[in-house]
Amino acid sequence: MVIKIQNKTADATIGKIIKKHEGILIEFKKIIKKGEIYLCLSGDLMNVDLVFIKSLDDVEIVMGPEKSFYFCGKSFAKKSSVEVGNVSVGIQDEMIIIAGPCAIENYKDLYETAIGVKKAGASIFRGGAFKPRTSPYNFQGIGSEGLKMLKKIHEDVKIPVVSEIMSIRDIELAEECLDMIQVGARNFTNVAFLKELGKCSTPILLKKGLNGTNTDLVKAAEFISYNGNDDIILCERGIQTGENLTRFTLDLSSVPVLREITHLPICIDPSHAAGRRELVPPLAKAATLLGADCLEIEVHVRPDETIKPGDGVQSLDIVTFESLVGEINKILGLNNRKLRMI
Ligand code: PEP
Ligand code: MN
């Protein structure tokens, strides 16, 4: 539950509310966002004295006990943007493309891919250092070394970088090396992790889980925002359905549905959803037409030479990526939007 309190009298009013609920298992947290003061209540909300709170004249209940997100919701803001390095994601008339390899294997491939995708139109570079695999025998990624390589890519190629981390233990290094931290689909319900990410100052690219709903995604984002970090981009990357000709099913309705319920920028990842490179361009174009703020696309300078099994099969080569960007540009033009290049 979230209460907005007028700044001048906030501390006295918060004191009164806390005193009124003594002995009830409720945690109170004062949050300041955009210069406004909020008191958040969590716990035994059925025993909140709503009549008392409503009787205070400097107080407005902006989220009642029955709801589960506010700061990431539409009633808090209409549309927000997130600064990733020097690139804003979520500006109405601009689209951003994040591109790069699934897994980082060596600096040479990483560098060549970064140069290629930047020239073709990507303005944020991705690369997986820690890989969440379904088998312990598959390539797990090169770990911390990969984050350090991405930092060097930022310096050498002058492009913001994003990568997934899977553990609280890696947050410190990630903050040092990355412009954005990715939370993978398999980790989006890891509440302890989300809470810690809320304390950092690096933007978060939060992916929807394999069985997640759009509401779950915004609730996961709320954990991050509640703990202090408001720079969150939501990402749809395919969900499990009965379909077996694609790796996952890209839930394109996420774009309009998330637009209805959240102000956060929306990213679509057609690569992990499709699982096959030939399906990436049509899905990327559909997401563009729907008005996604951002696309995350796997691209590798030599996709067929990557470690197997891996995501090489869904990675585009630079030439295909370049021609896809051309088609995306045409679609953007239809809606008076354009691609943000760097
Ligand atoms: C990835 O981006 O490389 C990745 C593993 O994504 P997801 O968590 O969506 O599977
Ligand atoms: Mn991948």
- C-alpha 156 to ligand 1 mean position (Å): 25
In the three-class reduction of DSSP (H, G, I as helix; E, B as strand; rest coil), residue 212 is classed as coil
pLDDT computed for residue 257 by the predictor: 98
pLDDT computed for residue 307 by the predictor: 95
Distance from C-alpha of 297 to C-alpha of 97, rounded to nearest angstrom: 7
What is the DSSP secondary-structure string of 252-321?
A: TTHHHHHHHHB-S-EEE-HHHHH-SGGGHHHHHHHHHHTT-SEEEEEB-SSGGGS-SSSGGGGPBPHHHH
Distance from C-alpha of 300 to C-alpha of 117, rounded to nearest angstrom: 9
Is any atom of ligand 1 closer than 6 Å to the C-beta of 102?
Answer: yes
pLDDT computed for residue 226 by the predictor: 98
Q: Which of 128, 107, 112, 119 is nearest to 312 (CA)?
A: 128
Q: Name the token pair of 93.
A: 């008339």
Is any atom of ligand 1 closer than 6 Å to the C-beta of 240?
Answer: no
Is any atom of ligand 1 closer than 6 Å to the C-beta of 247?
Answer: no
HSE toward the beta carbon, residue 191, CA cutoff 13 A: 5
Q: pLDDT in tens for each of the 342 residues of the chain?
A: 999 999 999 999 999 999 999 999 999 999 999 999 999 999 999 999 999 999 999 999 999 999 999 999 999 999 999 999 999 999 999 999 999 999 999 999 999 999 999 999 999 999 999 999 989 999 999 999 999 999 999 999 999 999 999 999 999 999 999 999 999 999 999 999 999 999 999 999 999 999 999 999 999 999 999 999 999 999 999 999 999 999 999 999 999 999 999 999 999 999 999 999 999 999 999 999 999 999 999 999 999 999 999 888 999 999 999 999 999 999 999 999 999 999
Q: End-to-end distance of the chain based on CA atoms, in angstroms?
A: 42
Going by C-beta distance under 8 Å and a sequence separation of 6 or more, which residues neighbour residue 178?
Answer: 147, 150, 151, 161, 162, 163, 202
- C-alpha 62 to ligand 1 mean position (Å): 35
Q: Quick one: which atom of ligand 1 is closest to the CA of 269?
A: 9
Distance from C-alpha of 120 to C-alpha of 97, rounded to nearest angstrom: 10
Nearest residue by C-alpha to atom 10 in ligand 1: 185
Is any atom of ligand 1 closer than 6 Å to the C-beta of 265?
Answer: no
Backbone angles phi, psi at 246, to 5 degrees: -125, 160
Is any atom of ligand 1 closer than 6 Å to the C-beta of 185?
Answer: yes
Q: For residue 310, give the amino acid letter.
A: G
Kindly tell me the burial class for residue 74, based on how many C-beta atoms sit within 10 Å of its own C-beta (0-12, 13-18, 19 or more): middle
- C-alpha 186 to ligand 1 mean position (Å): 8
Q: Quick one: which atom of ligand 1 is closest to the CA of 187?
A: 8
- Residues with CB in 5 Å of ion ligand 2: 102, 311
- C-alpha 311 to ligand 2 mean position (Å): 5
Nearest residue by C-alpha to atom 9 in ligand 1: 185
Q: Which ligand approaches the C-alpha of residue 162 most closely?
A: 1
pLDDT computed for residue 128 by the predictor: 98
Distance from C-alpha of 170 to C-alpha of 172, rounded to nearest angstrom: 6
Radius of gyration (C-alpha) of the chain in whole angstroms: 21
- C-alpha 120 to ligand 1 mean position (Å): 22
Q: Quick one: which atom of ligand 1 is closest to the CA of 296?
A: 2
Q: Which of 210, 164, 170, 162 is nearest to 189 (CA)?
A: 210
